[in-house]
Amino acid sequence: MIWLGFVAVIGAWVMWRNHRRLHDFEGESSQYTSTDGRGLRYELSQANVGKTGILRKIGVHCPQSLEFDLSHEDIFSRFLERLAIGREILTRDRRFDRTYTVQSEDPRVAPWLQQSAAARRQIDSLFREGARRIVAHGGRIWIEIHRSGDRIKASQAELKRVADQLHGLVASVPAADENRQGAPDRWWARAMLPLFLSNGALALCIGYFLSRPFQPYPAHLSAPDVYKTLAPFSLVITLALVWTCAWWIKDSARARVVLGELLLVGMPCLFIAGLLLATDLNVALASGPVEIRDAKVVSTATEKTRRSRSYFLFLEQLAPDQPHGMRLKVSNVTYAGAAVDKPVRVLWKRGALGFPFVVAEPEVINAP
Q: 146 vs 161, 181, 209, 255, 342, CA distance in Å?
A: 17, 33, 32, 23, 60
Asked if the structure places residue 259 within a domain, the reply is: yes
Alpha helices in the chain (DSSP H): 2-23, 75-82, 94-99, 109-115, 117-128, 156-171, 187-211, 223-248, 255-261, 267-284, 332-337
Q: What is the DSSP letter of 283?
A: H
Residue 321 belongs to domain with CATH number? 2.40.50
Number of domains in the chain: 3
- Examine the domain organization and report whether 153 and 50 are in the same domain: yes
Asked if the structure places residue 12 within a domain, the reply is: no
- pLDDT for 22: 58
Q: Which residue has the higher pLDDT, 85 or 241?
A: 241
Buried b or exposed e, range 267-302, using 16+ CB within 10 angstroms: bebbbbbbbbbbbeebbeebeeeeeebebebeeeee
Peptide bond into 320 cis (omega under 30): no
Query: By C-alpha distance, which of 89, 62, 328, 275 is closest to 175?
Result: 62
Share of the chain above pLDDT 70, in %: 80
Q: 65 vs 57, 60, 131, 141, 142, CA distance in Å?
A: 18, 11, 21, 9, 12
**Containing H/E element for 45?**
strand 39-49
The whole-angstrom separation of Cα 218 and Cα 309 is: 20
DSSP secondary structure of 60-89: EE-TT---EEEEE--HHHHHHHHTT-S---
CA atoms within 13 A on the CB side of 173: 28
> Considering 250, 284, 318, which residue would you say is the last residue of a domain?
284
The whole-angstrom separation of Cα 56 and Cα 154 is: 9
- Examine the domain organization and report whether 204 and 276 are in the same domain: yes
> Considering 136, 171, 206, which residue would you say is the last residue of a domain?
171
Query: By C-alpha distance, which of 52, 53, 49 is closest to 21?
Result: 49
Q: Which residue has the higher pLDDT, 182 or 365?
A: 365
Range ranked top by mean pLDDT from 23-37, 63-77, 272-286: 272-286
pLDDT in tens, 47-81: 877 777 788 889 999 988 888 888 888 776 666 66
Asked if the structure places residue 352 within a domain, the reply is: yes
- Examine the domain organization and report whether 280 and 299 are in the same domain: no
Asked if the structure places residue 154 within a domain, the reply is: yes
The whole-angstrom separation of Cα 184 and Cα 11 is: 25
Tell me which residue range forms the domain holding 318.
291-364
- pLDDT for 119: 93
Q: Is the pLDDT of residue 124 over 90?
A: yes
Q: Which residues touch 254 (CB under 8 Å, ≥6 apart)?
A: 69, 86, 103, 105, 187, 190, 191
- Examine the domain organization and report whether 266 and 314 are in the same domain: no
pTM over 0.95: no
Share of the chain above pLDDT 90, in %: 11
- Examine the domain organization and report whether 205 and 265 are in the same domain: yes
Asked if the structure places residue 107 within a domain, the reply is: yes
- Examine the domain organization and report whether 151 and 39 are in the same domain: yes
Give the residue-averaged pLDDT of 131-135: 89
Q: Is the pLDDT of residue 311 over 80?
A: yes
Asked if the structure places residue 354 within a domain, the reply is: yes
Task: Give 118's pLDDT tier (boundaries 50, 70, 90).
Answer: very high
The whole-angstrom separation of Cα 243 and Cα 220 is: 32
pLDDT in tens, 213-249: 677 788 887 777 788 888 888 888 888 888 887 777 7
> Considering 284, 318, 343, which residue would you say is the last residue of a domain?
284
Find residue 368's DSSP bridge partners.
Answer: none
Asked if the structure places residue 243 within a domain, the reply is: yes
Asked if the structure places residue 143 within a domain, the reply is: yes
